[in-house]
Each structure stands twice: as C-alpha cells, then as structure tokens.
C-alpha cells in the first residue's frame, strides 16, 4: 500500500512539473523528501526480511517457518520498493536535488532489532499465557509496548500492575 502511494505521488510530481521553470525550491524539497521516504521504506522492508531470517535462524534452525506466505509477498514488495526507489533517486539526481545522508549502520541495526522484537515478543507472551503465567506475560507485553511507544515518542500512561 505504501509503495503504491509513493509510486503515485512520484508519478504525479514528475508529470505535473515537466518544464524547468516549474521546478522551483518547493518542487526540489518535495522531490527530496519523497525520495528520502521511499529509500527509508525500502531500508525498512529489507530490515524486516533480515529480522525474520535472523529469528528463523536463531529459533527455528533456519527453517522458513515464520509467516511462510509472507516470504513471497515480502520479496515482491522489496523488489517494487527498490524499483520505485531507483526511479526517485534517478529523478532527484537528474533535477539536481542534494544527495541524502546515507543510512547509519547503527540505525539499520536498531531497526532490525526492533523488527526482531516485534516477531519474538508476541510469541513469548503467548507462550507464557498458554502455560498459565498470565501475570508475567502481561508485564512482558507492557514492557514491549512501552518500548515501542517511547520509540514513537508517545508518552505511555501509568498503569497499575
């Protein structure tokens, strides 16, 4: 869905600003922002796949058992995102938009760790719940959710456990 929106937005931007005089500072900023968003989403798609592979290696002896239907879908999404990203980068380069700052390897590692937690933590909580450790499962789930809220810069409300 995000890829479709980005593709449509990029096409609209590039087809409505066809003359050099229409490519003003606002156009350049919009194209740069869109390119950066598309590249960031592509990095995110790649890190989700890397996280899934890491979890499968760690917990499932490398068997592709986590969401097997998603493997083919995610591969298609990654390829589509790469194609859209290449088009956005090429258009930005052609129009002289400043190059973005490359992704920091620490940022990419943080993304992958977050995606790994998103795969592992719900399974851990469910397993604890199924063996009758509901209180412990609740605390673990709250800790995971609070961490995600902090990442999103949303202030979690206090709860009584």
Name the helix (H) or strand (E) containing 20.
none
Structure tokens at 105: 């390897």
Can you give the pLDDT at residue 154?
66
Can you give the pLDDT at residue 156?
57
Can you give the pLDDT at residue 69?
67
Alpha-carbon gap, residue 157 to 45, rounded angstroms: 30
Q: Where are the domains of the chain?
A: 1-99, 102-161
Residues 7/77, Cβ–Cβ less than 8 Å: no
Alpha-carbon gap, residue 141 to 118, rounded angstroms: 11
Can you give the pLDDT at residue 15?
82
Block means of pLDDT (10 residues each) for the chain, 161 residues, are: 77 77 78 88 84 83 71 77 88 86 80 85 84 86 81 64 53
Can you give the pLDDT at residue 157?
62
Alpha-carbon gap, residue 30 to 24, rounded angstroms: 10
């Amino acid at each position: 869905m995000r890829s479709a929106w980005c593709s449509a937005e990029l096409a609209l931007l590039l087809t409505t600003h066809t003359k050099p005089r229409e490519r003003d500072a606002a156009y350049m900023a919009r194209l740069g922002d869109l390119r950066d968003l598309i590249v960031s989403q592509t990095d995110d798609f790649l890190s989700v796949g890397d996280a899934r592979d890491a979890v499968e290696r760690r917990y499932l002896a490398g068997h592709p058992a986590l969401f097997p239907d998603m493997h083919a879908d995610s591969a298609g999404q990654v390829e589509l995102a790469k194609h859209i990203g290449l088009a956005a980068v090429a258009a930005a380069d052609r129009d002289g938009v400043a190059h973005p700052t490359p992704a920091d390897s620490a940022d990419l590692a943080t993304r992958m760790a977050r995606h790994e937690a998103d795969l592992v933590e719900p399974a851990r909580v469910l397993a604890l719940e199924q063996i009758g450790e509901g209180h412990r499962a609740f605390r673990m789930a709250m800790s995971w959710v609070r961490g995600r809220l902090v990442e999103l810069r949303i202030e979690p409300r206090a709860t009584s456990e």
